[in-house]
Amino acid sequence: MAASATPEGAVERIVIENAAIATVDANDTEYASGYVVVAGNKIESIGAGKAPEGLANVVRRVDATGHLVTPGLVNTHHHFYQWITRGLATDHNLFNWLVALYPTWARIDEQMTYAAAQGSLGMMARGGVTTAMDHHYVFPQGSGDLSGSIIRAASEMGVRFTLARGSMDRSEKDGGLPPDFAVETLEGALAATEETVKKHHDASFDAMTQVAVAPCSPFSVSTELLKQGAELARRLGVRLHTHGSETVEEEKFCHELFGMGPTDYFESTGWLGEDVWMAHCVHMNDSDIEAFARTKTGVAHCPSSNARLAAGIARVPDMLKAGVPVGLGVDGTASNESGELHTELRNALLINRLGAHREAALNARQALRLGTYGGAQVLGRATQIGSLEAGKLADLVLWKIDGIGHASIADPVTAIVFGAAAPVSLSLVNGKPVVENGTLLHADEDAIARSTREQAQRLARIAAES
């Protein structure tokens, strides 16, 4: 995508000055007061003090006094459609929760997924997310173009986006959890996934939309769909995503059905590798972590959802020590009703400190790295986003930290991780403003609230009548 330009063909610039900056680069470079120059859709320069003199075609100067600038947050696991089934089955574990909600989810249609995607994306964007992803795996027959509706919502919101085109073909009659009417056939799922990749995936450096191949989970997908899905992804040159090792019930399921644990099962089907990332990975032993590290398989850590469903505490410190790429995920908003990623920075740190490593589990800067560069690694975009460096894409956030909630916290990074959710004064994606002063620029929040409420009520009526 070409950078925006003046009539003379020169690149337009945005200059941000007087900000605390956490670059999250390889050296964790920080500036107590510094500048960022954005040229077109890329970061041109960054450093301490004032921006260079004599910059041409400066279309905007931002005095960022009282703000921390960070890379935009990167969400690595979500289910947008669940925005319209929030607040249900609130006292269930994962398997019981899925059994309770699958019959309702299997009634979704294009109008519902579009509204739910708007709600999910809007909540994330106004909270500092610049790259979102959606793992969508429920495709009822006759429901319309669900993938297209989700991609359209992301494009309209202005965020960078990865659609993980999911699928399920193991229903109740085959020993799985989804109802029989809620799954696709093996052939249908593979064909639809390939069509989605070919229609929507952009492999360019500054791509706004990418697609991954994403069969749902071991308990909703046949072995053949996993194997052929992996072959399809590698033939098309896209990434692979699924759920893994989320609960003790899943561990038991895999041993009973396949005679091995989830990690060994995934390896036997071609599902470990540097082009793969998995959600949750809560119940991982030393051998599992070593396998992920050896193959550079990524993890989407979802602390709030794991707690909501009583799944357990993922061994994130051990994964990081072993060299496993780890990012953060909201997960679906039927198991994380807040729908925000910036709260996951805090929850990742706090929940992991309840584990074996206690206060040494994670610190504020490690938590920020999980939500930025770690997420970029997991999505395969670490050369493009996830840190503030010259030449990278201009996806960045200005967090207001001089208000009542943060002004007395000594360190800026500690303020946004340990403190209350910091307001977003400005969010740039691809060099373009998406949020200003906590408000979405490309969407009407009140209209989205009305639409999501109406679609939630409509879905509940349809499910009750079925």
Domains of the chain: 13-71+388-440 (2.30.40.10), 73-378 (3.20.20.140)
Distances from the Cα of 256 to the Cα of 220, 259, 265, 402, angstroms: 15, 6, 12, 55
Residue from 68, 123, 64 nearest 344 by CA: 123
Answer whether 192's CB lies under 8 Å from 139's CB.
Answer: yes
CA distance 203 to 201: 6
Q: At residue 51, what is the residue type?
A: A
Which residue has tokens 């079925």?
Answer: 466
Instruction: Using alpha carbons, select from 5, 38, 28 the residue that is nearest to residue 411.
Output: 28
Task: Look at residue 46 and give its three-state secondary structure.
Answer: strand
One DSSP character per residue, 358-412 reads GGGS--HHHHHHIIIIIHHHHTT-TTTSSS--TTSB--EEEEE-SSTTTTT-SSH
DSSP 403-461: STTTTT-SSHHHHHHHSSPPPEEEEEETTEEEEETTEESSS-HHHHHHHHHHHHHHHHH
pLDDT value of position 143: 94
pTM of the model: 0.96
State the pLDDT at residue 462. 96
Q: What's residue 23's pLDDT?
A: 99
For residues 445 and 433, the answer to whether their CB atoms sit within 8 Å is no
Rounded Cα gap, residues 270 and 68, in angstroms: 42
Beta-carbon count within 10 A of 446 CB: 8
**What does the alpha-carbon distance between residue 111 and residue 166 come to, in Å, rounded to a whole number?**
19
Look at residue 1 in the predicted model and tell me its pLDDT.
36
Q: What is the pLDDT of residue 7?
A: 52
Question: Residue 466 contacts by C-beta under 8 Å, 6 or more apart in sequence?
Answer: 103, 107
Please tell me the predicted confidence (pLDDT) of residue 6. 52
- pLDDT score at 466: 83
Written as tens digits, the pLDDT of the chain (466 aa) is 344 445 556 899 999 999 999 999 999 999 999 999 999 999 999 999 999 999 999 999 999 999 999 999 999 999 999 999 999 999 999 889 988 999 999 999 999 999 999 999 999 999 999 999 999 999 998 999 999 999 999 999 999 999 999 999 998 888 887 888 889 999 999 999 999 999 999 999 999 999 999 999 998 999 999 999 999 999 999 999 999 999 998 899 899 999 999 999 999 999 999 999 999 999 999 999 999 999 999 999 999 999 999 999 999 999 999 999 999 999 999 999 999 999 999 999 999 999 999 999 999 999 999 999 999 999 999 999 999 999 999 999 999 999 999 999 999 999 999 999 999 999 999 999 999 999 999 999 999 999 999 999 999 999 999 8
